[in-house]
Chains A and B, each alone.
Chain A
């Protein structure tokens, strides 16, 4: 069963000032995330990852194409999709005068069932700052609070945009353990990241975006193999090799399928 599926997804933005026109942020994106897997979405800055995530979350309307989360359209089936989809947006955006505990409890109240806020706070290493206002937290603590808020409704599908950006190595390891725990619980994860080591360790499959288009997809090992690099090269070298390619991978469409 597909947890997330996009077909020929396209989004453009209007450019202002000099060089007016439209910038293509996402172009013909076909993405399939199977239930229970951890899918990595890799790309440089401006590759279209966050725009893709925002369309999957129902925050942006595609110019063209289709998004389905557990078979439902996140814009028209809002009430159903929001109940099963947890989203951690790239920049933590929460009520800054509320404490960690107040924020997590507030978001827990939006769902009929979910995780225990205090247990989740402890699991994310926020126990010591549970009574601290969001505005007083460090960047890493804000990031972890944002993750807690995304997970407190016990979602079946989770989108994590730049999960470990700004975290110290220990906190990163903690987050990796959290993602593994989600997979063990059968939760589907779409992990958007710049960090090759993170993707290599956590993801079952990876989709690489460049200039809004898919340039490679497969398991981390298959991407490295496809890049035909010298022995010992890893995903990072493969990523650079793959994103330097000019020709994108043709989109998989039902029309194009044999």
Chain B
């Protein structure tokens, strides 16, 4: 069949900046209206920060840490890492799995907006959520507990960027393999607590068996805590931690891209 010229002259319709902005706003509204999904990653880390701040006090100075306190080198990096990991590993996949289950990604597939736009805008909204969580945690640490900022701010920013990339990769992998929204939340929480437990969320990693400690140090949670801690002290980032973050982002992201299903 030969198509008449009037048919082939139809313009290609691709979503412009207005569509991207509208979808990002819609995703932001969805996140903001999911009270539990909003409060947990913003509120829980601050609660942990406050409880640890009270327990450790603000004057416990670590030896060989340039005068930095336990709060600055251990508690604050753990708190910031919880914010990033909670959003990346639990929130993002639960939204995407729910969208897949309810057919929203499929519905968008019949419009000029591709389902891939949802992935990108969800990621961006997650980053805004992370930024808000980090700002709240840092604000409480600085103004309430008198914590000082990192000795190497750019290293801290780089560590957080790598943390976002690696936890998103894990989150996308969870979204790719989870068959239902419930299983996405379950798998995400499992990954979050497994990485947190081996990465120092529940106490010093020195108390863990050697093998567990070594694995925890290269998984996203522990690697982020170590990299942020070194940025606060002003020392160089541990190579194994950086390698772990990059490897998780690349391998996890690659597998997620391979296995992700739109429906």
Contacts and interface: CB of A to CB of B under 8 A. Distances in A.
Contacts of A95: 26, 30, 104
Nearest to A146: B107
A82 B11 contact: no
3 shortest interchain CB distances as A-B pairs:
A71-B3, A83-B13, A71-B7
A26 B18 CA distance: 39
A87 B113 contact: no
Nearest to B98: A96
Nearest to B3: A71
Given A82-B13, A106-B23, A109-B22, A97 B34 contact: yes
B111 A82 contact: yes
Contacts of A110: 13, 15, 19, 111-113
Given A70-B10, A71-B8, A72-B8, A89 B110 contact: yes
Interface of B: 1, 3-4, 6-8, 10-16, 18-19, 21-23, 26, 29-30, 33-34, 102-104, 106-107, 109-113
Contact of B22 (A85, A89, A93, A105): A105
A68 B30 contact: no
Q: Which residue, of B13, B21, B107, B110, has the highest number of chain A Cβ atoms within 10 A?
A: B110
Contacts of B6: 1
A72 B8 CA distance: 7
Interface string A109-141: 111100000000000000000000100000000
A1 B4 contact: yes
Nearest to B31: A97
Nearest to B26: A106
A133 B26 CA distance: 12
Q: Is the interface on chain A under 10, 10 to 19, 20 to 34, or 35 or more residues?
A: 35 or more
Given A82-B112, A97-B29, 11 more contacts: A1-B6, A1-B7, A70-B7, A70-B10, A72-B10, A82-B110, A83-B112, A85-B110, A87-B110, A93-B106, A98-B29
Contacts of A83: 10-13, 112
A84 B10 contact: yes
B138 to A, nearest CB: 29
Contacts of A58: 109-110
B8 to A, nearest CB: 6
Contacts of B14: 79
B30 A98 contact: yes
B34 A72 contact: no
Contacts of A81: 10
21 contacts: A5-B1, A7-B1, A57-B110, A71-B1, A79-B112, A80-B10, A81-B10, A82-B111, A83-B12, A89-B103, A93-B102, A94-B104, A94-B107, A95-B104, A98-B26, A109-B21, A109-B22, A110-B112, A110-B113, A111-B13, A112-B13
